[in-house]
Amino acid sequence: MPRVKRNFRSLSGPVGAYVLVIILLGVAVILYSVLDLVKHPVGPQWLILVFLAVASGLPMLRIPAMPISFSISDVFNIAAALLFGPSAGAVTAALDGLTLTSRISSITRSIDRVLFNMAAPTVALWIASQVFFALGGDRPLEGPLSALRLLALLTLFGTLDFSLNSVIVAVAVSFDRRQPILSIWREHLSGVWITYFGGTFGAMLLMLLARFGTVSTLILIIPLPVILYMTFRHALGRTQDQISHLGTVNKVYIAAIESLAHAVDAKDQVTHDHTRRVQDQTVRLARALAVENEAEIQAIQAAALLHDVGKLAIPEHILNKPGRLTPAEFDIMKRHAPIGADILAVIGLPYDVAPIVRHHHESWDGTGYPDGLAGDRIPIGARIIAVVDCFDALTSDRPYRPRMNDRDAFQIVSDRRGKMYDPQVVDAFFAMHGDELVATSAQLPTLANTAPASLGPPLERADEGREDPDLQTFFDLGRALSGVTSPSQLGEILWIHLRKHLPASAFVLYGYDGTNDTIVAVYSVGEGAGGIDATPIPLGDRLSGWVAATAQTVMNSDARLDLDEPAREHSSLRSALAVPITSCGRTAGVLSFYAEAPNAFDDVHRRLVEAASRAVAGSLPNLAPDLAAKAIAHRS
């Protein structure tokens, strides 16, 4: 009979109330049975069955991977009930439960555990045997069709005993583990039925043999416990081997998942902490939404790590571009969802991960991609990941913008409730972050002038109502550059000649340091330029580092991406125009202009600065030693 092998967390919650009820029922049955045996003694033969039950209960058999064990003493408990009555069977079962509990380590043994393990089998066996004798009478082996009648009664007895005992244990484990009762019963207890019916029909043989002498029969069946123990031990050993094999296979799957997640993070310039945070929050939110199926939880957990695996097929210049993607680039980016699902489908993970990955960019209102699913047609895992990933992305630095504070991020998620995101998921997400919401604001503010964070800064716009600067500007600039002798002089000339044509309030000239493959600020001027970090910027990092690495202009990206961490929060700079300087096909530096207004620059400004960068490129080779010296000075 199965017994619970763990201490209950508390006797104050649902599990405590349930355990207390079972214990009280067990105590009542035991007291009644003891009094009944005192009034109506059953003879010394019963003591032999008690001895056999206790002896066979000492070598416990454990169900692998569960806090449940059972013994092979069932046949003697059942025989006691069928040969000597419900009271004898109940006391025997109680002593058997006490024996099994005595094998538990004293460190984990507790009074609630001892009493529950005594009460559960006692109550089940007493009720089943009461029904047996109520239907069969005191002499079930006598009368017409006695064999068929006895078979039917024993089948009913075994069914009741197994059902009551296994359900009592399943409910306790369910409360304690917070898992569905039916799931616990099916996975770990349904297969134990063989011990009950084996014990029941073993007891039937004892009933038949007892007609020819009870004591002799009981002595002759003493080898039976050893045979039963070895049989079940062998079966459970094979089960344990299978579980160990599955554990090894699962480790391989987990290693594959981790490797793919690392690969995505490395290409997408996202820290591994991001994916771990998303995974942890996703699983918490799934459980808060009453997702109880363990296989579905495992699928959501794996999908949270791998939802962007399709980005391995997206070109890096699109994946890490600072600034909003063009429509053509966005069409390419959208392919990562179905590509990721195809990759995972080929791997053949043991969880249903591919549909979650394919649909994690679908919108609640049906405007998402790739299939335009809406509402409940979107897998619950995809709906959960969409909310969690959005919030974590908003509160993290990205190539196209710096991190937002929690207050603003909560507001954006709230604004998308019922449009992009499942309202129920958003509500559960806010409930899960209740303390943070209270800390930021009792009621989320309305954000002004905030574009959807997933889209980044607006597309480049052309201002057709303005003309390019006149040729005199370039003539004057070219003449001034001819006498440049230092990086600071070069930066000053550029600022003097270009500032009157640009809405910029700050300017930084970056020079390339080939020794460490970095760029350094060799000249800076204007309000807010003091926030530029003096340390070298590796190619690909921040805004200007990305421009230097890709040799592509970026317009109207967030200027704060180029500022050091302390300066970001207080800076008034909002938009940037960064143009690479190339010489002999290689990056030589970057011209970065910053404005306080969002979207301050247009195509006219871009063409002006790109023209200036081509003019500067001719002067840079003569300044290379000074640029390198300036970079060394910054590093020191």
**CA-CA distance, 296 to 505, in Å (whole number)?**
54
pLDDT at 385 over 90: yes
**CA-CA distance, 311 to 270, in Å (whole number)?**
12
**CA-CA distance, 85 to 497, in Å (whole number)?**
108
CA distances from 301 to 16, 201, 275, 540 (A): 31, 46, 11, 31
Residue 558 lies in a domain: yes
Q: Specify whether 22 is located in the same domain as 158.
A: yes
**CA-CA distance, 330 to 333, in Å (whole number)?**
5
At which of 417, 440, 463 does a domain end? Answer: 440
pLDDT (average), residues 396-409: 75
- Residue 323's nearest CA partner among 487, 558, 512, 50 is 558
Helix ranges restricted to H, 379-522 = 380-394, 406-415, 423-432, 434-440, 471-481, 487-498
pLDDT (average), residues 6-19: 62
**CA-CA distance, 502 to 605, in Å (whole number)?**
6
The kind and range of the H/E element at 47 are helix 45-57
Task: Say if CB 162 and CB 193 are below 8 A apart.
Answer: yes
Question: Highest mean pLDDT range out of 292-306, 360-374, 452-466, 477-491?
Answer: 360-374
**CA-CA distance, 200 to 211, in Å (whole number)?**
17
Who's near 407: CB < 8 A, 6+ residues apart?
Answer: 440, 441, 444, 445
Q: Specify whether 102 is located in the same domain as 176.
A: yes
pLDDT at 195 over 90: no
pLDDT at 108 over 70: no
Task: Say if CB 454 and CB 421 are below 8 A apart.
Answer: no
**What pLDDT is stored for residue 457 in this prediction?**
34
Lowest-confidence segment of 125-139, 325-339, 592-606 by average pLDDT: 125-139
**CA-CA distance, 411 to 430, in Å (whole number)?**
11
> Which burial class, exposed, middle or buried, applies to 489 when counting CB atoms under 10 A from its CB (0-12, 13-18, 19+)?
middle
Residue 464 lies in a domain: no
Residue 462 lies in a domain: no
Percent of the chain past pLDDT 70, that is, above it, reads: 66
Residue 49 lies in a domain: yes
**CA-CA distance, 430 to 424, in Å (whole number)?**
10
Q: Specify whether 486 is located in the same domain as 367.
A: no
Q: Specify whether 389 is located in the same domain as 508.
A: no
**CA-CA distance, 542 to 325, in Å (whole number)?**
17
**CA-CA distance, 370 to 334, in Å (whole number)?**
7
Instruction: Identify any residues that bridge with 62 across adjacent strands, giving them in sequence order.
Output: 69
pLDDT (average), residues 298-326: 81
Domain that holds residue 562: 471-635
Q: Specify whether 209 is located in the same domain as 272.
A: no
Residue 565 lies in a domain: yes
Bigger pLDDT: 148 vs 599: 599
* Side-by-side strand order, sheet with 506-513: 537-538, 518-526, 506-513, 586-595, 575-583, 554-557
Lowest-confidence segment of 25-29, 141-145, 377-381, 532-536 by average pLDDT: 141-145
**What pLDDT is stored for residue 314 in this prediction?**
82
CA dihedral 166, 168, 170, 174 (to 10 degrees): 180
Who's near 566: CB < 8 A, 6+ residues apart?
Answer: 531
**CA-CA distance, 630 to 31, in Å (whole number)?**
93
Helix/strand/coil for 521? strand
**What pLDDT is stored for residue 95 in this prediction?**
86
pLDDT tens per residue across span 439-481: 554 444 333 333 333 333 333 333 333 444 545 566 667 677 7
- CATH number at 428 reads 1.10.3210.10
Task: Respond yes or no on whether the N-terminal peptide bond of residue 327 is cis (omega within 30° of 0).
Answer: no
Tokens at residue 590, please?
């970057």
- CATH number at 610 reads 3.30.450.40
- CATH number at 93 reads 1.10.1760.20
pLDDT (average), residues 135-156: 72
* Number of domains forming the structure of the chain: 3
pLDDT grade for 608, boundaries at 50, 70 and 90: confident
Q: Specify whether 76 is located in the same domain as 203.
A: yes
Q: Specify whether 326 is located in the same domain as 208.
A: no
Q: Specify whether 199 is located in the same domain as 303.
A: no
Helix/strand/coil for 131? helix
Return mean pLDDT, the chain: 75
Question: How does strand 575-583 pair with strand 586-595?
Answer: antiparallel
Percent of residues in the chain assigned helix, strand, coil, to nearest 5: 60, 10, 30
At which of 174, 203, 221 does a domain end? Answer: 221
pLDDT grade for 265, boundaries at 50, 70 and 90: low
Residue 449 lies in a domain: no
* Side-by-side strand order, sheet with 61-62: 2-4, 68-70, 61-62
pLDDT grade for 374, boundaries at 50, 70 and 90: very high
pLDDT at 362 over 90: yes
**CB count in 10 Å sphere of residue 486:** 15
Q: Specify whether 435 is located in the same domain as 506.
A: no
Tokens at residue 175, please?
């409360």
DSSP symbol at 221:
T
Q: Specify whether 277 is located in the same domain as 165.
A: no
Instruction: Identify any residues that bridge with 554 across adjacent strands, giving them in sequence order.
Output: 578
Q: Specify whether 417 is located in the same domain as 500.
A: no
Residue 230 lies in a domain: no
pLDDT at 280 over 80: yes
Task: Say if CB 83 and CB 211 are below 8 A apart.
Answer: no
**CB count in 10 Å sphere of residue 346:** 9
Q: Specify whether 177 is located in the same domain as 77.
A: yes
Bigger pLDDT: 351 vs 230: 351
pTM of the entire predicted model: 0.45
pLDDT (average), residues 257-279: 67
pLDDT (average), residues 123-142: 81
**What pLDDT is stored for residue 619 in this prediction?**
60
Residue 395 lies in a domain: yes
Helix ranges restricted to H, 178-321 = 181-184, 193-210, 214-220, 224-268, 272-288, 294-306, 316-319
